[in-house]
Structure 1
Amino acid sequence: MPIIELKTYINAPIETVFNLSRSVALHTYSTIKTNEEAVDGVTEGLLKEGDTVTWRAKHFGVYQYLTVAITAYDFPCFFQDSMLKGIFKQMEHQHFFTKVGEAVCMHDIFEYKAPLGILGTVADVLFLKRYMYNFLKERNRIIKQVAENDEASLQFLNK
């Protein structure tokens, strides 16, 4: 199963980074290129353990739906979302938050299994893993940008 790992260092309080990472509004803002929006389950506020959300987004020219649940939660150090329904055969995203001096290390571990058997495996090698890496990297860039701006952080944490 392919694994994507990213570490992003953010100069903000750990609670702020953790909360922004589970903000529905910030997720929607950070995925504007794919027109992502929460359409079912928890559609606003901050996700917590046991919550589910269904995202609708346009990837590769096709609207797709992904339903995830927050399956593990330890404020402000860790949470995990796991796919319940969607295009992947399997998907799990672990989010770790660790203080490193005055900064926070946001460590993502994203594991997935492509659909369509051997065709999915080929697609993964050719473009899917790179696409998912860039998608997550952009999301983390936005989280960092917002977290390091107190005014912007408040805007997303109050929605």
Structure 2
Amino acid sequence: MPTIILKTLINAPMGQCFDLARSIDLHVQSMQHCGEQAIKGKISGLINLGESVSWRAKHFGIYFEMTNKITTLEYPNSFIDEMIRGPFKKLHHQHLFKTIDTQTEMTDIFEFKAPLDILGWLAEKLFLTRYMKQLLVVRNKVIKREAEGV
């Protein structure tokens, strides 16, 4: 199962970064390029423990829907969202935050498993892992820009 680990340093307080990372509105803004929308559940504001959001977005020319739920939340240190319905066999995303000097280190640990057994495994190896990492990089740039007021 692919695991993507991404660290982003942000010049802003940890609590602010934590809240921006769980902002539905900022997530939608960061995924404009794929037309992602929150369509059901918590569709705006800050998502909290036990809440879920259903997303609709276009990837690879196809519309996908996915529902994720916040299964763990420890303000302002970490939260986990997991896919409870959607295109993957598994999707588990840990969001970790810690203060280093005057910055916040935001760490994403993103694990997923594609469907379709051997075809899914091939897709993971050939392009899907790289694609998912790029989505995280784009999202984190938007969080960093918003937090730093740039």
TM exceeds 0.5?
Answer: yes
Aligned to 1:110: 110
Quick one: distance in 2 between partners of 1:115 and 1:31?
23
> Is it true that 1:125 corresponds to 2:129 in the alignment?
no
Task: After TM superposition, list the pairs within 5 Å mapping 1:1-159 onto structure 2.
Answer: 1-149=1-149
CA distance in 1, matches of 2:82, 2:31: 18
- Report the Cα distance in structure 1 between the residues aligned to 2:91 and 2:69, rounded to whole angstroms: 11
Structure 2 unmatched runs, 5+ = none
Deviation at 1:45, TM superposition (A): 0.6
Superposition deviation, residue 46 in structure 1: 0.1
Give the alignment's TM-score, normalised by structure 1: 0.93
Deviation at 1:118, TM superposition (A): 0.3
- Give a deviation string over 1:75-104, Cα, whole Å, max 9, x none: 000000000000000000000000001000
The number of aligned residues is 150
Secondary structure at the counterpart of residue 144 of structure 1: helix
Letter paired with 2:35? N
Letter in 2 for 1:14: M
Shift, 1:109, TM fit: 0.1
The code of the aligned residue for 2:61 comes to G
Alignment partners' CA distance in 2, 1:116 and 1:146: 38
CA distance in 1, matches of 2:142, 2:41: 24
TM normalised by structure 2 equals: 0.99
- Gaps of at least 5 residues in structure 1 are 153-159
Deviation string 1:22-52 (CA, Å, 9 cap, x unpaired) is 0010000000111001000000110010000
SS of 2:139's equivalent in the other structure is helix
Q: Which runs of 4+ in 1 moved over 2 A?
A: none
The percentage of counterpart residues that share the same residue type is 48
Counterparts of 2:96 and 2:135, CA distance in 1: 18
